[in-house]
Amino acid sequence: MKPVAFQTYDGRTLSGLLITPAGVPQAACVLHSATGIHKEFYIKFATWMAGEQNIAMLLYDYRDFGASLEGHIKDSDASMSDWGVKDQSAALDFLIGQYPDTEIWAIGHSLGGLFFNAHQQSDKVKRAVGVAAGANYWTQNPARIMPLILALWWGLGPILTMAMGYLPAKTLGLGADLPKNVFWEWRKWCLSKAFYRPDYGRELPAEKGLKHPENVKLISVESDYIITAQMVKRMREFYTGSNIEYHHLLLNEVGAKKIGHIDIFRERNKKAWPLIIK
């Protein structure tokens, strides 16, 4: 495991980890993290990918988050589109630079799987997998978590973000704390039926297709009440021109009673990992 650092095209430095197999890798893969999840959360999965699948793995933290945080989070101007477009694109660029003659993959968890076709070198990605990545419109969340959704978008979420200058997500049990503009843009998208589509050509680059559309896979998880199967399936609207493979991961496939939105990458759910890259 090797610490690395690389820059975005607008001059921000991101902290990463490169986890490599013993020999020449058969592929190199960047893992784009979920909202509020540090890169270290994925180390067990990345180590498995390198050791058992012979795939080099790049993990990293988005700007003003985790080890990439510069200064105090309340002073951050980072947005969710910065994370999804600029930072994810920079990570992909770095990986390609490290492995110019190797097949390139991308795995995106939640937020990490929303922007595959927005990256500068998306044409170099041979295989893209979105795990629990979906177009989340708030009314489509199940009733069992609606109190959390209402509090996040209309209650404590906005109130605390305005009062503190950032979203204290850790206090709310929603992962690590988030820059204010990450929260506001996330909220805007989830309150719109069009999700982020109205921002194409503005905060987001103009929509484009993927060069290898036959190798896009979207995975939903049976016990995920945050990003449902309906939301994951809807991502097919955002990858136009792509022939999407879709898989709904059932708990009995991996012998689990519950996985949820985040825990598919925990070691206790290791039986699910081959299904991600299958």
| Residue 120: partners with Cβ closer than 8 Å, 6 or more residues away | 9, 89, 92, 93
Confidence of residue 14 (pLDDT cuts 50, 70, 90): very high
Q: Which amino acid is it at 44?
A: K
Question: Contact at 8 Å (CB) between 160 and 168?
Answer: yes
pLDDT at residue 201, as a whole number: 67
| b/e map 127-162, b = 16+ CB within 10 Å | bbbbbbbbbbbbebbeeeeeebbeebbeebbbebbe
CATH code of the domain occupying 2-138+207-277: 3.40.50.1820
Q: How far, in Å, CA of 273 to CA of 278, rounded?
A: 9
Angle at 230 between CA 238 and CA 170, to 5 degrees: 90
What single DSSP character describes residue 83? I
- Write out pLDDT tens, residues 53-107: 999 999 999 999 999 999 999 999 999 999 999 999 999 999 999 999 999 999 9
Give the closest residue to 112 by CA, choosing from 60, 66, 73, 178. 60
Q: Which amino acid is it at 14?
A: L
- Write out pLDDT tens, residues 124-164: 999 999 999 999 999 999 999 999 999 999 999 999 999 99
Give the closest residue to 24 by CA, choosing from 99, 91, 81. 99
Q: How far, in Å, CA of 112 to CA of 32, rounded?
A: 4
What is the CB neighbour count within 10 angstroms for residue 108? 24
pLDDT at residue 107, as a whole number: 98
Q: What percent of the chain has pLDDT over 70?
A: 95
Over residues 184-206, mean pLDDT: 86
Confidence of residue 243 (pLDDT cuts 50, 70, 90): confident
**Mean per-residue pLDDT over the chain, rounded:** 93
